[in-house]
Amino acid sequence: MNDKKTMEQIISYAKRRGFVFQGSEIYGGMAGVYDFGPYGVELLNNIKKSWWRANVQLRSDYYGLDSAMFKHPQVWEASGHTSGFSDPMSECKSCNTRLRVDKALEKVGVAADEKMSEDEINKLFDDNKSKIKCTKCGNSDFTPAKAFNLLVKSNLGDFTNKGESPVYLPGEACQGIYLNFKNVVDSMHPKIPFGIAQINKAFRNEISPRNFLFRTREFEQADTQYFVRPEENKEAFEKIKEDRWSWYVNDLGINPENMRWKQHDNLVFYAKDAWDIEYNYPTYGFDEVEGIHDRSDYDLSVHSKASGVDLSYVDQVAGEKYIPWILETSMGLGRIFLAILSDAYTVEEMDGAERTVLKLSPELAPVKVAVLPLLKNKPELVEKAKEVFTMLNKVMVSEYAETGTVGKRYRKQDEIGTPHCVTIDFDTLEDDTVTLRDRDSGEQKRVKIAELLNGLA
């Protein structure tokens, strides 16, 4: 469990060890924007690789996609985002700090339903204002809540609609899948049920970005949309839930005690069911990593109507034509990255000293093996170590490290989660064997260089 870890530890560790940096830090930073550093981008890419393998490459019923971020302005009108994609916002009357009202109410134990009108939210807000404090000045005097649209506008020159409505950055990644449904059907001729998967960026004008990578203004989503025959949704939905849970536990190696399911109480009007996979983040507690939604025929119906292009599926087997229903999975890459880091981050004792170790599965580790010459001032050791490093680096991401004592170099590799270290010493020069050290147990054994790859597999 994560009770003994704090998010402060994770944030400072992530910066110190080159995983995550504040966006535009040298200019004072930007709220809700983060950059992934040298080890962070390796971990992020490994998460994406694992997700893509499980959801596209190992599935004969799923197709991959990478759609453009800029989309015709009508997309966001048809999807309902220009009118309904908003959060209730208020401002502190003393210092103008913005407040997301539903989240502020939640903090004082009052649940605001997503479907509530502005008047209903304001009634709740008025009744509970005295318990809510401005995060900056501590006052409790706020303007009434107003719906604040989360779409981010771009100034892309748009000649398709004569500049009548702006070209937005994507508020969610899945729209690109709906736009390409017909292209995939016409080019790949899939049999229903089938899915389309993609990883893409999303941008939201979050009122109060918070909790490090958890709520940001720019993030990536890994989405699948599974198309089924109308009302043949239930069994497929349960199977998708099972597959998703299994990926977290069996592929990523996340401790299932730190995960749980949460079903939505208040569904949007077109949804038939919605569940979240939650993770128990240090300090913040359980919160959503991924949403699994039964969206009925809503998305393809609204885009059929607005575009005038028939997005029905012709079911040759059943001899029918219909708009498929959609089962969606949508995972925030920043949130799963933070969950993985939190789960793997461990401070423990080894050989009578405290060490920090990132217990990542080898598949996720940014560096798979580090090669260390015992001494850096012995050219013959350095030369042999570089030779072994070059050999290993052709097959897996490897790191060469020669500075500091071997013990210190082991500790640094433990901290970034490197599963194995290979040390080149004087015996190596005699018999072509090396010391192979295991990150988790600290155990060391002698291995022939020729057999190293088997030992690392």
Binding site for ligand GAP (CB under 6 A): 172, 174, 204, 206, 215-216, 219, 221, 288-291, 330-332, 334-335
What are the two backbone dihedrals, phi and then psi, of residue 48, each rounded to the nearest 5 degrees? -60, -40
287, 7 Cβ separation under 8 angstroms: no
Give me the sheet containing 62-64, strands edge to edge: 62-64, 194-203, 218-228, 325-332, 285-294, 273-281, 259-263
Taking the complex as a whole, how short is the minimal distance between the CB of residue 100 and ligand GAP, in angstroms? 11
From 435, 422, 417, 433, select the one nearest 389 (Cα to Cα).
422
Taking the complex as a whole, how short is the minimal distance between the CB of residue 218 and ligand GAP, in angstroms? 8
Print the SS3 string covering 43-103: HHHHHHHHHHHHHHHCCCCEEECCCCCCCCHHHHHHCCHHHHCEEEEEEECCCCCEEEHHH
From 368, 419, 333, select the one nearest 36 (Cα to Cα).
333
Q: Give the whole-angstrom CA distance, residue 350 versus residue 439.
A: 11
Nearer to ligand GAP, 288 or 415 (CB): 288
Nearer to ligand GAP, 84 or 442 (CB): 84
Taking the complex as a whole, how short is the minimal distance between the CB of residue 223 and ligand GAP, in angstroms? 6
Q: Give the whole-angstrom CA distance, residue 160 versus residue 403.
A: 58
Nearer to ligand GAP, 13 or 219 (CB): 219
Taking the complex as a whole, how short is the minimal distance between the CB of residue 367 and ligand GAP, in angstroms? 26
CA-only gyration radius of the chain, Å: 26
Nearer to ligand GAP, 199 or 369 (CB): 199
Nearer to ligand GAP, 133 or 264 (CB): 264
398, 417 Cβ separation under 8 angstroms: no
Taking the complex as a whole, how short is the minimal distance between the CB of residue 299 and ligand GAP, in angstroms? 9
Residue 369's identity, in one-letter code, is V
Q: Give the whole-angstrom CA distance, residue 168 versus residue 143.
A: 28
3-state secondary structure of 391: helix
Nearer to ligand GAP, 216 or 342 (CB): 216
Q: What would the two tokens of residue 304 be?
A: 């059929």
Taking the complex as a whole, how short is the minimal distance between the CB of residue 28 and ligand GAP, in angstroms? 21
Taking the complex as a whole, how short is the minimal distance between the CB of residue 248 and ligand GAP, in angstroms? 13
Taking the complex as a whole, how short is the minimal distance between the CB of residue 38 and ligand GAP, in angstroms? 22
Q: How far is CA 362 from CA 69, 228, 252, in A?
A: 33, 36, 10
Taking the complex as a whole, how short is the minimal distance between the CB of residue 328 and ligand GAP, in angstroms? 6
Nearer to ligand GAP, 292 or 344 (CB): 292
99, 207 Cβ separation under 8 angstroms: yes
Nearer to ligand GAP, 87 or 399 (CB): 87
Give, for 6, the enclosing helix (H) or strand (E): none
Nearer to ligand GAP, 335 or 437 (CB): 335
Q: Give the whole-angstrom CA distance, residue 414 versus residue 351.
A: 14
3-state secondary structure of 361: coil
Taking the complex as a whole, how short is the minimal distance between the CB of residue 245 and ligand GAP, in angstroms? 15
Which residue has its beta carbon closest to ligand GAP?
Answer: 332
Q: What would the two tokens of residue 100 be?
A: 């997301």
Nearer to ligand GAP, 328 or 414 (CB): 328
